[in-house]
């Protein structure tokens, strides 16, 4: 490895704590067999999913974000009042406005924090992460909470077998702080948008173009629309491109990585990307069987899995990558410093 640590304007930033949350209720593949014409075998073979968690009625994404944030701050031993900024990646906010970040600020009692939401489909966490990291690297802030969460089951049509098997609900939060002497933390990001992919994956109803009406409800415009094969092809191609780019331009190969923490949309997409990087499957984190696709929640939830499985340790080089609605794609290279 010839890792050349890219200089940053300002100071280096790192992840200093992690907290995650999934709601207790679960929908299994067997439950879905009773709702649509599908089978446990088809879902497992084509996606890798066995079950997914579902947010209870009366709660919103902000509740999952708040719980993940509380756990993250507790892991660091930090009071909510010390948080300076909250950045939330989500496409399933509690409501059109106010931003989820504002709701979370109030729920956790982070009185001194400002914040905002990032809408980038399943790339929401990696996009929000770069925003949070740059706020710390620039010297503008020293304690930034970056949260990724989606309540996809709220937007899922449980009569559409092509989408209802895929999605789950969950949240994860990381704290970004300045790196200490000798620490490297974040090394590089590669992010891309291809807006021409918008028609392949979207939720059309309830925005300014198609405000909510009886017609938008009748036409099922408040559910996730997805051209699965088109999204699959984009994700396989783009995940490989952004991950190879971020590794190559930093003198790193798949063999140098402690682990690869991918967005969890489909096990076949993760495997294709890992193969392209020449990664040992043992060091590729997969937890899609338990959670399904939680969009912006997948990467922090997979960080937790990596730690639980003993595959993510202080000093490891870690690659994160995601692709999703927009189309969007992103990758991050960092050294784990916890």
Told to check if 42 binds ligand COA by CB under 6 A, we report yes
Q: Is 47 in the site for ligand COA (CB under 6 A)?
A: yes
Among 85, 165, 190, 332, binds ligand COA (CB under 6 A): 165
19/80 Cα distance (integer angstroms) = 14
Instruction: For residue 280, give both structure tokens.
Output: 């040992």
Question: CA-CA distance, 301 to 255, in Å (whole number)?
Answer: 23
The contact mask relative to ligand COA for 197-216 (x = CB under 6 A, - = no) is ----x---------------
Among 3, 26, 33, 38, binds ligand COA (CB under 6 A): 38
122 binds ligand COA (CB under 6 A): yes
Q: Which helix (H) or strand (E) holds 327?
A: none
In the complex, least distance from residue 158 CB atom to ligand COA, rounded to whole angstroms: 11
Q: Does 287 participate in catalysis according to the annotation?
A: no
Q: Does 161 bind ligand COA (CB under 6 A)?
A: yes
CA distance 112 to 206: 32
Q: What SS3 state is found at 58?
A: coil
Site for ligand COA in 223-282 (CB under 6 A): 226, 228-229, 231-232, 235, 265-266
- Give how many residues touch ligand COA by CB under 6 A: 21
Nearest of 259, 263, 333 to residue 298 by alpha carbon: 263
Binding segment (CB under 6 A) for ligand COA, from list 39-47, 87-95, 127-135, 182-190:
39-47
**Minimal distance, residue 243 CB to ligand COA, in Å:** 15
Q: Which residues contact 190 (CB under 8 A, 6 or more apart)?
A: 242, 245, 246, 330, 331
Is 263 labeled as catalytic in the residue annotation? Answer: yes
Query: Looking at the chain, how many residues does it have?
Result: 338
- In angstroms, what is the minimal distance from the CB of 42 to ligand COA? 4
Could you tell me the smallest distance in angstroms from the CB atom of residue 311 to ligand COA? 23
Minimum gap (Å) between residue 272 Cβ and ligand COA: 11
Contact between 162 and ligand COA per CB under 6 A: yes
Sheet holding 328-335, edge to edge: 186-193, 328-335, 317-324, 259-262, 284-285
Of residues 65, 102, 122, 259, which has the active-site annotation?
A: 122
CB of 166 to ligand COA, least distance (A): 6
> By CB under 6 A, what part of segment 285-314 binds ligand COA?
293
Q: CB nearer to ligand COA: give 23 or 324.
A: 324
Binding window for ligand COA (CB under 6 A); candidates: 124-132, 222-230, 240-248, 306-314: 222-230
Catalytic residue among 102, 152, 263, 266: 263
Q: Which is nearer to ligand COA, 118 or 165 (CB)?
A: 165
Minimal distance, residue 38 CB to ligand COA, in Å: 3
* Helix spans in the chain (H): 29-33, 40-47, 61-76, 100-108, 124-137, 161-164, 214-218, 228-248, 267-277, 288-291, 298-308
**Distance from C-alpha of 309 to C-alpha of 294, rounded to nearest angstrom:** 20
CA distance 130 to 135: 9
Secondary structure of residue 163 in the 3-state scheme? helix
Residues 282 and 32: their CA atoms lie apart, in Å, by 30
The yes-or-no answer on residue 210 being catalytic is no
- Counting Cα atoms < 13 Å in the Cβ hemisphere of 149 gives 37
What are the residues binding ligand COA (CB under 6 A)? Answer: 38, 42-43, 46-47, 122, 161-162, 165, 201, 226, 228-229, 231-232, 235, 265-266, 293, 323-324
Active site residues: 122, 263, 293
């Amino acid at each position: 490895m010839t890792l050349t640590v890219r200089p940053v304007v300002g100071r280096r930033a790192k992840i200093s704590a992690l907290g995650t949350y999934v709601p207790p209720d679960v929908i299994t593949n067997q439950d879905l067999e009773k709702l649509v014409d599908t089978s446990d075998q088809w879902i497992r073979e084509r996606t890798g999913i066995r079950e997914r968690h579902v947010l209870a009625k009366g709660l919103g994404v902000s509740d999952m974000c708040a719980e993940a944030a509380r756990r993250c701050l507790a892991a660091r031993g930090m009071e909510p009042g010390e948080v300076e900024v909250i950045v939330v990646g989500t496409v399933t906010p509690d409501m059109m406005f106010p931003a989820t970040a504002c709701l979370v600020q109030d729920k956790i009692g982070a009185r001194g924090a400002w914040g905002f939401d990032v809408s980038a489909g399943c790339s929401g966490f990696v996009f929000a992460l770069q925003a949070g990291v740059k706020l710390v690297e620039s010297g503008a802030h020293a304690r930034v909470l970056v949260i990724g969460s989606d309540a996809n089951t709220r937007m899922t049509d449980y009569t559409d077998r092509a989408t209802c098997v895929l999605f789950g609900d969950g949240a994860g939060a990381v704290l970004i702080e300045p790196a200490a002497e000798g620490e490297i933390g974040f090394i590089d990001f590669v992010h891309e948008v291809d807006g021409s992919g918008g028609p392949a994956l979207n939720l059309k109803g309830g925005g300014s173009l198609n405000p909510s009406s009886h017609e938008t409800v009748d036409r099922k415009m408040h559910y996730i629309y997805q051209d699965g094969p088109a999204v699959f092809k984009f994700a396989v191609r783009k995940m490989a491109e952004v991950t190879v780019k971020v590794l190559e331009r930093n003198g790193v190969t798949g063999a140098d990585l402690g682990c690869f923490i991918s967005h969890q949309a489909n096990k076949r997409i993760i495997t294709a990307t890992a193969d392209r990087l020449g990664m040992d499957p043992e060091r590729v984190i997969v937890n899609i069987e338990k959670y399904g696709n939680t969009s912006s929640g997948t990467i922090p939830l997979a960080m937790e899995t990596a730690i639980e499985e003993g595959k993510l340790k202080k000093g490891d080089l870690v690659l994160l990558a995601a692709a999703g609605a927009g189309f969007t794609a992103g990758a991050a290279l960092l050294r784990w410093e916890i």
